[in-house]
Amino acid sequence: MSNEPAIEARGLVKSYGGVRVLAGLDLQVPRGSVFALLGPNGAGKTTTVRILATLSRADAGQARVAGFDVDRDRRQVRRRISLTGQFAALDAAQTGEENLRMIGRLAGLPRAAARRRAAELLEQFDLAPTAGRRVGTYSGGLRRRLDLAASLAGRPAVIFLDEPTTGLDPQSRLTTWRAIAGVAADGVTVFLTTQYLDEADRLADQIAVLNGGLLVAAGTAAELKHRVAPQRLDLTCSNATAFEQVRSNLTHPVVHLDPAARTVGVATDGSAAQVRALLDQADPGRDLVASFAVRGATLDDVFFTLTAATPAAPPAAATAPAQEAAHV
Amino acid sequence: MSDALIMAGRCLRLSLRSPDALLTALLLPVMLMVVFVYLFGGAVAIGTSYVQYVVPGVLLLCAITGASTTAVTVCQDMTGGIIDRFRSLDVPGTVILAGHVTASLARNLVSTVLVAAVAAGIGFRPHSDPARLAAAVGVLLLFVAAISWLAAAFGLAVSAPEAANGAMFFLMFLSYASSAFVPVRTMPWWLRGFARHQPVTPVTETLRGLLLGQPTEGQLAAALAWSGGILLASVLLSMALFRRRTA
């Protein structure tokens, strides 16, 4: 029992209206670790979370969470987990403290214990100053933090966080990260989904990259980063012919293509020597490339590298959101 | 059971915190009663004073307008993130909905008392005894519970709170095409059949009988059958809709 992983999924398959969202997902999350499921919109992240948190049933495959089967022992699983979705699961017309007390009591705490737990959580998440205000008046960051606090009210063994910082400003993102790290430090197993590489990097012990309903890579942040160039050199060409010419000149992996802007992106370590060499390779006659920029690798670049897919424009991330929105 | 109490407490608190909706639910029936008594009452010749006739009908209209809030709040719950939280805490759908219905009953109790007080002020004089009065309250509460569960089903069936509110309008029409405001015999012949055989008429007539010391035979059984039937059907429908929404 104690050696059993907190989360274990085998061959999860789920389709919505003929669209296959998960195509046989396997994953394992050790107890007390932080696991990040990284992927673009529409990759199947929310679907995975909903199945593991017992809110949806998989069409095929099995999953065990906190020692119980998510399908056969729903109640047992629900007693040991909590889920914080993409939309704040709080009552806007109740105060922060009232929300925490209500959720604590629904999680099975007696009245007095729920009040104590609420006070503890308000303290732990720096929410005490706003505890008496209605949640409707909270900022986005404050609301996320309260939401996170609420998911801990019943002392779950495993918490699921679906895109915990999407839509937050940088400052609130940092505070939310600190709060999540604090939760993990208490020994709770954290399963989070994210679209941001830096978020997974910052928080997770293990990262799995989900694309098109399948894991395309898994490992620690360092392992994944090793497989991805940290920077991207964007070459903007003077015209459409030059764009094609530059593409064919490059032998280095192209990770980004934007014909409309006539931009070709190649992976680079960002060193002056390599940038100079790449420019020479792309544009030996010095008349094709109008300008260039070196920028940090984006998640798209990671995907292109990890999936070895040919970059397409618009990138996959931009075409998929409708799919995910349709089944939430 | 304790989950049910927590959910009921939550819904009551939310009711109290949306003062505009609460005010509408409380004042609308009173204003309608005043409109009916003073504007239309003079034109309605029914042999007794119109206020005596119309108060039971207003109590039902009050139940229906009060219940429409339930449709809206249920729909808001279903479309917001909180439903997933409740489900992952293993709160059953029926318990979540029962919380909304309990709050609806409480709101209706308050608005009923308010209507009764204003009615007394403008000349309504019941001829009843404590037993019949208690029976009247029971009949009314059963009707409110039935309509509130029906409203909860509406709230589950539609995708936006505005639509939930709209769905309740046709229930208000039921009270107009009944004996709540005018006797059925004054209606055109093609409407009488419908007016007599729909839920609002027997419930109104039963309340009238219990409050004014008139016989209720025939009507009481029909009233209980209608309310009980709607209640049962709505609970079952809500459970099915909840399962479908959260599948």
CA distance B82 to chain A (A): 4
CA distance B80 to chain A (A): 7
**Is A304 a domain residue?**
no
**Is A319 a domain residue?**
no
In three-state form (DSSP H/G/I as H, E/B as E, the rest C), the secondary structure along chain B is CHHHHHHHHHHHHHHHCCHHHHHHHHHHHHHHHHHHHHHHHHHCCCCCCHHHHHHHHHHHHHHHHHHHHHHHHHHHHHHCCHHHHHHHCCCCHHHHHHHHHHHHHHHHHHHHHHHHHHHHHCCCCCCCCHHHHHHHHHHHHHHHHHHHHHHHHHHHHCCCHHHHHHHCHHHHHHHHCCCCCCCHHHCCHHHHHHHHCCCHHHHHHHHHHHHHCCCCCCHHHHHHHHHHHHHHHHHHHHHHHHHHHCC
Residue range B208-226, pLDDT digits in tens:
999 998 888 889 999 999 9
**Are residue A161 and residue A272 in the same domain, yes or no?**
no
**Is A174 a domain residue?**
yes
Is-contact B69 B107, C-beta < 8 A? yes
A94/B82 CB distance under 8 A: no
A103/B85 CB distance under 8 A: yes
B106 touches chain A (CB under 8 A): no
The per-residue pLDDT of chain B, averaged, comes to: 89
Residues of chain A found within 8 Å of residue B88, distances taken between Cβ atoms: 53-55, 78, 81-83
A106/B86 CB distance under 8 A: yes
**pTM of the predicted model over 0.90:** no
Q: What is the CATH classification number for the domain harbouring A174? A: 3.40.50.300
A56/B89 CB distance under 8 A: no
**Are residue A260 and residue A245 in the same domain, yes or no?**
yes
Size of interface A-B (CB pairs under 8 A): 66
Residues of chain B found within 8 Å of residue A107, distances taken between Cβ atoms: 89
Is-contact A97 A123, C-beta < 8 A? no
**Is A326 a domain residue?**
no
Name residues of chain A where pLDDT drops below 50: 1, 310-328
**Are residue A75 and residue A214 in the same domain, yes or no?**
yes
Which of B3, B17, B84 is nearest residue A85 as measured by Cβ atoms? B84
- B234-B235-B237 Cα angle (round to 5): 60
Taking residues B65-71, what's their average pLDDT?
86
B13/A75 CB distance under 8 A: no
**Are residue A140 and residue A119 in the same domain, yes or no?**
yes
The edge-to-edge listing of strands for the beta sheet with A289-296 is A254-258, A263-268, A231-237, A289-296
Q: Which residue of B has its CA nearest to A87?
A: B81
A102/B91 CB distance under 8 A: no
DSSP per-residue codes, A135-147 = GGGS-HHHHHHHH
Q: Does residue B114 surpass a pLDDT of 80?
A: yes
Which of A89, A106, A151 is nearest residue B3 as measured by Cβ atoms? A106
**Are residue A127 and residue A179 in the same domain, yes or no?**
yes
Supply the pLDDT for residue A244: 92
Domain encompassing residue A283: 231-296
Residue range B177-203, pLDDT digits in tens:
999 888 898 899 999 999 999 999 999
Supply the pLDDT for residue A279: 93
Q: Does residue B157 surpass a pLDDT of 80?
A: yes
Residues of chain B found within 8 Å of residue A154, distances taken between Cβ atoms: 89
**Are residue A113 and residue A243 in the same domain, yes or no?**
no
**Are residue A220 and residue A166 in the same domain, yes or no?**
yes
Taking residues B167-183, what's their average pLDDT?
85
**Is A286 a domain residue?**
yes
**Are residue A180 and residue A289 in the same domain, yes or no?**
no
B80 touches chain A (CB under 8 A): yes
Q: Kindly report each contact of residues B175-182 with a partner whose C-beta sits within 8 Å and lies 24 or more positions away, as own/partner.
A: B175/B57, B175/B60, B175/B61, B175/B64, B175/B200, B178/B57, B178/B204, B179/B57, B179/B204, B179/B205, B180/B54, B180/B56, B180/B57, B180/B58, B180/B60, B180/B61, B180/B204, B181/B36, B181/B40, B181/B44, B181/B54, B181/B57, B182/B44, B182/B46
Q: Within the 9-28 window of chain B, which residues sit less than 8 Å (CB to CB) from chain A?
A: 10, 13-14, 17-18
CA distance A168 to chain B (A): 17
B245 touches chain A (CB under 8 A): no
Cα–Cα distance list, B16 to A67, A91, A95, B83, B106 (Å):
42, 13, 13, 21, 11
**Are residue A107 and residue A69 in the same domain, yes or no?**
yes
Which of B3, B13, B88 is nearest residue A83 as measured by Cβ atoms? B88
Supply the pLDDT for residue B131: 92
Compute the Cα dihedral for A67, A72, A78, A84 and give only its sign.
positive
Domain termination residue (choose one: A168, A198, A226): A226
**Is A195 a domain residue?**
yes
B247/A56 CB distance under 8 A: yes
The residues of A whose Cβ lies within 8 A of any Cβ of B are 53-57, 74-75, 78-79, 81-91, 93-94, 98, 102-103, 105-107, 134, 150-151, 154
Residues of chain A found within 8 Å of residue B247, distances taken between Cβ atoms: 56-57
Which of A78, A98, A134 is nearest residue B90 as measured by Cβ atoms? A78
**Is A321 a domain residue?**
no
Q: Which residue of A has its CA nearest to B76?
A: A91
CA distance A87 to chain B (A): 5
Which of B6, B10, B246 is nearest residue A91 as measured by Cβ atoms? B10
Which of A83, A91, A93 is nearest residue B84 as measured by Cβ atoms? A83
A94/B14 CB distance under 8 A: yes
Residues of chain B found within 8 Å of residue A105, distances taken between Cβ atoms: 2, 6
**Are residue A61 and residue A206 in the same domain, yes or no?**
yes
Residue range B116-145, pLDDT digits in tens:
999 999 989 998 899 999 999 999 999 999
**Are residue A210 and residue A120 in the same domain, yes or no?**
yes
Q: Within the 189-218 window of chain B, which residues sit less than 8 Å (CB to CB) from chain A?
A: none
Structural domains of chain A, count: 2
Taking residues B51-58, what's their average pLDDT?
90
CA distance B227 to chain A (A): 32
**Are residue A118 and residue A254 in the same domain, yes or no?**
no
**Is A323 a domain residue?**
no
Residues of chain B found within 8 Å of residue A49, distances taken between Cβ atoms: none
Which of A87, A98, A107 is nearest residue B89 as measured by Cβ atoms? A107
pLDDT confidence tier of residue B237, bands split at 50, 70 and 90: very high
Q: Within the 133-162 window of chain B, which residues sit less than 8 Å (CB to CB) from chain A?
A: none
Which of A74, A89, A154 is nearest residue B84 as measured by Cβ atoms? A89
Domain termination residue (choose one: A226, A246, A269): A226
B85/A75 CB distance under 8 A: no
Q: What is the CATH classification number for the domain harbouring A269? A: 3.30.70
